[in-house]
Amino acid sequence: MTQPAQDRRDVQYGTAVASVYDSLIAPALPAEAAVDRLRPCVTGARVLEIGVGTGRVAVPVAAIAAEVVGLDNSRPMLDEFRAKTVPGNISLVQADFRAPLPVTGPFDAAYSTMGSLACVTDREQLTAALSHVRDVLAPGATLSLEYYATGTYRPLVAQHTVTMPTPHHGGTTTFTITLDDRDVLTMGTRIDEVGKPPVEFSEHVLLIERDEVEVCLNRAGFTVEHVYAAESPQPYDWYTARATK
Ligand SMILES: C[S@@+](CC[C@H](N)C(=O)[O-])C[C@H]1O[C@@H](n2cnc3c(N)ncnc32)[C@H](O)[C@@H]1O
Percent of the chain with pLDDT over 90: 85
- Would you state the pLDDT for residue 4? 46
Furthest-apart CA atoms within the chain: distance in Å: 56
For residue 42, give the nearest of 62, 72, 69, 70 by alpha carbon. 62
How far is residue 120 CA from its own chain's centroid? Answer: 11
pLDDT tens digit sequence for 54-90: 999 999 999 999 999 999 999 999 999 999 999 999 9
Rounded Cα distance between 213 and 164, Å, is 29
Element (H, E) at 201: strand 199-206
44, 61 in Cβ contact below 8 A?
Answer: no
Residues written for the chain: 245
- Would you state the pLDDT for residue 166? 84
Rounded Cα distance between 2 and 69, Å, is 13
Q: Which protein residue's CA is at the shortest distance from atom 11 of ligand 1? A: 51
Rounded Cα distance between 167 and 178, Å, is 23
For ligand 1, pick from 72, 78, 144, 204 the residue to mutate: most ligand atoms within 8 Å of CB: 72
Atom of ligand 1 nearest to the CA of 96: 20
For residue 160, give the nearest of 181, 187, 199, 192 by alpha carbon. 187
Q: Where are the domains of the chain?
A: 4-149+208-243, 151-203
What phi, psi does 241 have (nearest 5°)? -130, 160
Selected from 2.40.128.30, 2.60.120.580, 1.10.10.10, 3.40.50.150, the CATH number assigned to the domain covering 4-149+208-243 reads 3.40.50.150
| Whether residue 25 has pLDDT greater than 60 | yes
CA of 202 to the centre of ligand 1 (A): 13
- Would you state the pLDDT for residue 196? 87
Q: State if residue 13 touches ligand 1 by the CB under 6 angstroms criterion.
A: yes
Q: State if residue 77 touches ligand 1 by the CB under 6 angstroms criterion.
A: yes
Q: State if residue 119 touches ligand 1 by the CB under 6 angstroms criterion.
A: yes
pLDDT tens digit sequence for 227-236: 999 998 899 9
